[in-house]
Every structure is written in C-alpha cells, then in structure tokens.
Amino acid sequence: MVAAEQFSAPVAGLGEGAFWDDRTNRFMMVDLLRGDILTLDDSGQPTRAHVDTIASVIRSRAAGGFVVGVERGARFLTDDLQPLGDVLTAFDTEGIRMNDGGCDPQGRLYVGSMAYAESAGAGTLYRVDRDHTIVPVLDSVTVSNGIQWSADGARVFYNDTATGRIAVFDFDDSDGSFHDQRDFVVLPEGVGAPDGMAIDSEDGLWVALWGGSAVRHYDADGKLSEVIELPVSKVTCPTFGGPDKATLYVTTADIDVTNEPLAGAVFRADVGVTGAPVHAFAG
C-alpha cells in the first residue's frame, strides 16, 4: 500500500481541479464554490486568486495563460490569473453549475455540469472547441467529474459520480465525439463514489473516491492494483506533478464532514509511475 503525506494545511472548502503547471513547476487547484484558484508553493503555502462565482477546473492555454471552468461556461485567464475577455457561455439555466473537466489530445476542452441540488440527470458534458464553439457531448449526467484519454487517444474514460462506475468510450479524434459507452470499472458498494481522476504513462487510472477516504489505482485492464488511504472522507481530484511527474497530488473537501481536522488539505504520494501529459487548450 502506498502511503500519502500531508502537503498543505486545510486550504479549501471544495478543493478540486488538481493541476500541475509545467511552465512554472507549481501545483494549482480550485476552491470550487468560492470561485478561487489556489497556487501552492513548495512548502504547501497557498496564494489565492478569485476569478469568478465558481471555478471548477483549470488547464493551461496554448496561447498563454489558462482556461477555467466557471458557473455556466468557461473563461480565459492571463498568466497572473486575471480574467481575460468575456465568459464563453454554455447554458443559462438557474440551479446548474459547471464541475470537473479536461482537455483531449487535440486541445479541445470538456467541462461537465451538474445541479447544485445534484438532481438526477440534470447535467451535461460540454465540449469547447478550438474556435470557442460550445456543444453538448453527453446529456442526462448527474455529477459530471473526471475525464481522461488513453495514450493512443482511441479511448476516453469518464466519471459520472452518481453512477458508481468508470465509463469508457471509443473516441473520434476528428470531431471529439464519444461512442460505444461501456463499463471500465464498477466500484463495489461502500468504497465511495468516483470523483476526479488522473492517468499515468501506462494507461493506469488513479481515481479519487468521494466518501471513500482513498484514491484507487486501476491498471490498463481495469484491475485494482493499489489503494492510497487518506485521513479524510471527501477525496476529490488527483494529478501527477513534481519534476519527474511521479508524485500524485490529491485534493480534498470539507463539505458536510465532522471530526475531520485535515479535510480540505492537499496530500501527495510517490507512486512509482509517471503521469501522462496533461493537454492544454489549443483555442
């Protein structure tokens, strides 16, 4: 079993969007419901930048700066995290907000929505194309969460947390569409629900378990090969970072928990495998 160490003090209410910025060699994340981006230094001390009502996920932008999911769409940020231009609006529905997301190997951004009340089927996974057009990819989603692509780009893995399953689709890289949904992993009852996830250089998935106090590692065939236990229940999002990309950083949340003094802290673990590239938004 891999041991995790505490990297930061509790810094977030709903820590999410774990991200290692290769350009500056720093760990970044969102404090989702506060609309903040947190940048942590080598000692885990955070610098906080408020960017919008909601900040759901952050990725690099190939043109410079960043793209961040906001309440009803996405927006660009400068290198110093200042808003740049207008919000790219995906929807205008009360009671719905964006959640997790990521970029495909071609540089398109995918961000999924959910109801604040977590109403069944109220969310949608959207694709932001390189020309800034936004189109729905999957509908009837409940809690849209982690998304990752296999090394060959032929498959995409996706978590709708409420299903308790990691889904896999065939991926058409020509238009960014998903096909032939099936189960990659069905999580057992009582271990928590699949939240954010990272993928390593061997196509292994590292999946945060909301309510499960752990990150689970599934190999390229979907076999459970490692469990990283954490001292908090609401584990939200892992990412690979560090100079060699062999350290797994993990965000957590202090939403609706009691007697968990470390809830909202960031943890890290040396896992013996390097992370796959995290793609930038190309638009």
**Cα–Cα dist 212/151, whole Å:** 28
Residue in the structure block whose two tokens are 């057992």: 188
What would the 3-class secondary structure string for 168-184 be?
EEEEECCCCEEEEEEEE
Nearest Cα to 216, choosing from 241, 243, 183, 186? 186
pLDDT > 70 in the chain, percent: 100
pLDDT per residue over 177-186, tens digit each? 999 999 999 9
Assigned domain for 282 exists: no
Assigned domain for 93 exists: yes
3-state secondary structure of 259: coil
Q: Supply the pLDDT for residue 3.
A: 87
**Cα–Cα dist 147/53, whole Å:** 23
pLDDT per residue over 79-104, tens digit each? 999 999 999 999 999 999 999 999 99
Q: Supply the pLDDT for residue 174.
A: 97
CATH number at residue 25: 2.120.10.30
**Side-chain-facing half-sphere of 177: CA atoms under 13 Å:** 4
Assigned domain for 248 exists: yes
Assigned domain for 276 exists: no
Residue 255 pLDDT exceeds 80: yes
Catalytic residue among 195, 200, 203, 254: 195
pLDDT per residue over 56-75, tens digit each? 999 999 999 999 999 999 99
**Cα–Cα dist 213/228, whole Å:** 9
Report yes or no: 199 and 209 within 8 Å, Cβ to Cβ.
no
pLDDT per residue over 121-173, tens digit each? 999 999 999 999 999 999 999 999 999 999 999 999 999 999 999 999 999 99
Assigned domain for 283 exists: no
Range of the domain at 258: 5-270
Report yes or no: 142 and 161 within 8 Å, Cβ to Cβ.
yes
Assigned domain for 263 exists: yes
Mean pLDDT of 230-256: 97
Q: Can 195 be counted among the known catalytic residues?
A: yes
How far does the chain reach from its first CA to its final CA, in angstroms? 41
Assigned domain for 42 exists: yes
Report yes or no: 52 and 71 within 8 Å, Cβ to Cβ.
yes
Q: How many domains does the chain have?
A: 1
Report yes or no: 20 and 240 within 8 Å, Cβ to Cβ.
yes
Adjacent-strand bridge partners of 57: none
Residue 1 pLDDT exceeds 80: no
Assigned domain for 224 exists: yes
